Chains A and B, each alone.
Chain A
């Protein structure tokens, strides 16, 4: 099984804070990495996709980076809002999902 680990498992921050979510993978054969959010009991919403030839992608307040040599990706969320509360999942090569980070942004 491909191992994809996300740290922390849960995170609670006050509104307005900038935060970083981490995704680590053990297999260096990576073609792309995708970040998703999932609201409770719902499907997944795609946030950002980074190809192996790229180092980062940005969309609005979100920035995702990829470091293949260290086997890590980070998702940076700027100026967090209560609506950002959800579980964030990374997926390596679009098949293998990480363990997820449950984010709560407190108003």
Chain B
């Protein structure tokens, strides 16, 4: 299995809702990432987990809460989002111990906040 799987593919949520995005990989990668991508813009790094511990938080608002319950799974919990948080949320993984190898990205979750 050489894929990063993200679910759901599309999500519409109200500003008072609580939802979660899920990312899963079975490649044994110990680094996992969340990116946010607005239309026609490059991906922006949100969080980095290495060995299931949060190693980088790029000053992301607390309404986004990441969680890495095990080495294969990465969640992004969403609460009280704003319409400007609507974007494509991308998950990626990497073999932390092999810097010569690059990222593998999931296909993303298209989030719309209404």
Specify the chain B residue showing the minimal Cβ separation from A6. B42
Name A17-50 residues within 8 Å CB distance of B.
31-32, 34, 36, 41-46, 49
A42–B104 touching, CB < 8 Å: no
Tell me if A81 is interfacial: C-beta within 8 Å of chain B: no
Contact B99 A98 (CB under 8 A): no
Query: Contact at B99–A43, with CB atoms within 8 Å?
Result: no
Query: By the criterion CB–CB under 8 Å, are A43 and B106 in contact?
Result: yes
Q: Is the CB of A98 within 8 A of B101?
A: no
Task: Give residues of chain B (26-68) contacting chain A, Cβ–Cβ below 8 Å.
Answer: 40-45, 48, 56
Q: A44-B43, A99-B42 are in contact. Are A51 and B107 (CB under 8 A)?
A: no
Q: Does A94 sit within 8 A of B, measured CB to CB?
A: yes
Is A31 touching B106 in the complex (CB atoms < 8 A)?
A: no
Q: How far is the CA of A91 from the CA of B108 in the complex (A)?
A: 18
In the complex, the answer to whether A49 meets B100 with C-beta atoms within 8 Å is yes
Whether B88 and A41, one on each chain, are in contact in the complex, defined by CB atoms closer than 8 angstroms, is: yes
Number of interface residues of B (CB under 8 A): 25
A41-B88, A89-B42 in contact; A46/B105 too (CB < 8 A)? yes
| Contact yes or no, B108 A42, CB < 8 A | yes
B87-114: CB near A (< 8 Å → 1, else 0) gives: 0101010100001111111111010000
Best-buried of B4, B6, B99, B102 by chain A (most CB within 10 Å): B102
Q: In the complex, A97→B41 CA distance in Å?
A: 9
From A31, which residue of chain B is reached at the shortest CB distance?
Answer: B99
- Complex CA gap A50/B91 in Å reads 22
What are the nearest 10 A-B pairs in CB distance?
A97-B42, A49-B102, A43-B107, A44-B105, A43-B105, A46-B102, A34-B102, A43-B108, A97-B43, A95-B45
